[in-house]
Amino acid sequence: MTNVTRRFVLGGLAGLCAPLPAAARWKPEYAQLPKEVVDWYQTRKLTKATQKRLRVSWDSCCSNADVVKTRFRVSRVDNDDIWEYELPDGTWKEVPADIIHWGDHSPSGDAVLFAVSSHGPVCFFPPRSGQ
């Protein structure tokens, strides 16, 4: 990947968990979605490193956090991908490395960021290559 910034916008699946700042909740209408989509969202877990850093006992991305509707960009620094997400005020913030789930992608292939208002981002799933 080059140093050119690539941007990704979350698809329609971003609403599967309520947007911030409301408490995370699973809406009954999500039951109408394909089972594999529902299962993917309901089974995503925090990494052990994230749980330890945040000092939380829970581990579910979706049951305890919300999907954030935002834009993403990635740059290459010292052979590492550095992911950032855009805040509502237009500033960009780095995605913590310990929340990135490399090789695990949403059913749509879009990037997905889960966050908790009291802890910030807790789970990030990069998009499939070429998205």
Tens of pLDDT along 1-20? 332 333 333 333 344 444 33
Confidence of residue 89 (pLDDT cuts 50, 70, 90): very high
Reply yes or no on whether the pLDDT at 21 is more than 70: no
Residues in the chain: 131
Report yes or no on 115 lying in a domain. Answer: yes
Report yes or no on 1 lying in a domain. Answer: no
Q: Tokens at residue 98, please?
A: 């310990």
Confidence of residue 25 (pLDDT cuts 50, 70, 90): low
Report yes or no on 112 lying in a domain. Answer: yes
Q: Which helix (H) or strand (E) holds 124?
A: strand 120-125
**99 bridge partner residues:** none
Number of domains composing the chain: 1
Q: What is the pLDDT of residues 33-78, one digit of tens each?
A: 888 998 999 999 999 999 999 999 999 998 889 899 999 999 988 8
State the residue range of the domain holding 50.
6-125
Report yes or no on 130 lying in a domain. Answer: no
Residue 80, pLDDT score: 87
Report yes or no on 131 lying in a domain. Answer: no
Q: What is the mean pLDDT of residues 94-106?
A: 96
Contact yes or no for 100/44 (Cβ under 8 A): no
Confidence of residue 92 (pLDDT cuts 50, 70, 90): very high
Report yes or no on 88 lying in a domain. Answer: yes
Model pTM? 0.77
Report yes or no on 92 lying in a domain. Answer: yes
Residue 38, pLDDT score: 87
